[in-house]
Amino acid sequence: MTDLLRLTPVSMVTINTVFLPRGVYASALTVLGLTLLAGVLLAAAERKGSLAVASLRRGVTAAFAAAALAYAAFSDTVWLGWLKADTVAFLGLTSGQKVERMDPALAAFAARARAVIPGSYQLYPPREDGGGSYPVLRTEYLLLPLRKRRDAEHIVVVADAKAGYDRFRRRFTRGPVVLEGVDMALPFSADLYVLRKRP
């Protein structure tokens, strides 16, 4: 409850990295609890035919209106802060420069991978098995105009916990998929690398 009176500002690094303070969550839960309590009291008062029902209704309406205005002011202040921060950080940059500033590691990996991969690649994890995550989709975007195919010579692995590569045996495994004779084409990091199948 002490967080309600001391709301910390939302971190305004960029709109892509939004972290809400605990006070916002506490406020939302408190409003939900008070709404439930007000509804129960209103229903009980209507059953008894109390004269306070009209006053209670007006009070609940005024509380919701005040909460809506407070939320609007808070959210507009936060959005304005994000807009200012993003304007300072990204104004005048090209799309490529913006991506490099937001995701420098992925941008560097994609640039080096484009130099290694001649035309097409196979991406792990596949979209049907967790491949819709932010790093995978961002890498797929950064690798354009290269083509993603199901059975390509090069394998791009991005943050795939199920994938494993044994350098000594030159074996790539991911669940039931086992590929022998696979060479490391680009060892960027432990969870970002490019493999090449032997012809």
Measure Cα distances from 122 to 14, 147, 157, 164, 193 in Å.
Answer: 32, 9, 9, 15, 12
Number of structural domains in the chain: 2
Of 44, 67, 90, which residue sits at a domain end?
90
Residue 37 confidence (pLDDT)? 82
Of 90, 119, 147, which residue sits at a domain end?
90
Span 155-165, average pLDDT? 86
Whether 126 and 73 map to the same domain: the answer is no
Whether 76 and 106 map to the same domain: the answer is no
Q: What is the mean pLDDT of the chain?
A: 78
Q: Is the pLDDT score of 31 beyond 70? A: yes
* Model confidence, pTM: 0.57
pLDDT digits (tens, 9 = 90+) for 16-25: 555 566 777 7
Q: Is the pLDDT score of 4 beyond 50? A: no
Residue 40 confidence (pLDDT)? 75
pLDDT digits (tens, 9 = 90+) for 112-154: 999 999 888 888 887 666 556 777 888 888 888 888 888 888 8
Q: Is the pLDDT score of 179 beyond 50? A: yes
Of 66, 90, 114, which residue sits at a domain end?
90
Residue 194: band (very low, low, confident or very high) from pLDDT cuts 50, 70, 90? very high
Maximum distance among all Cα pairs of the chain, rounded to whole angstroms = 86
pLDDT digits (tens, 9 = 90+) for 48-103: 766 666 666 777 777 778 877 887 888 788 788 878 888 888 888 887 788 888 88
Q: Is the pLDDT score of 8 beyond 50? A: no
Whether 102 and 30 map to the same domain: the answer is no
Whether 72 and 102 map to the same domain: the answer is no
Question: What is the 3-state secondary structure of the chain?
Answer: CHHHHCCCCCCCCCCCCCCCCHHHHHHHHHHHHHHHHHHHHHHHHHHHCCCCHHHHHHHHHHHHHHHHHHHHHHHHHHHHHHHHHHHHHHCCCCHHHHHHHHCHHHHHHHHHHHHHCCCEEEEECCHHHCCCCHHHHHHHHHCCCCEECCCCCEEEEECCCCEEEECCCCEEEECCEEEECEEEEEEEECCEEEEEECC
Nearest to 185 by CA among 113, 122, 104, 121: 113
Range of the structural domain that residue 52 is part of: 2-90
* Residue 169: partners with Cβ closer than 8 Å, 6 or more residues away: 180
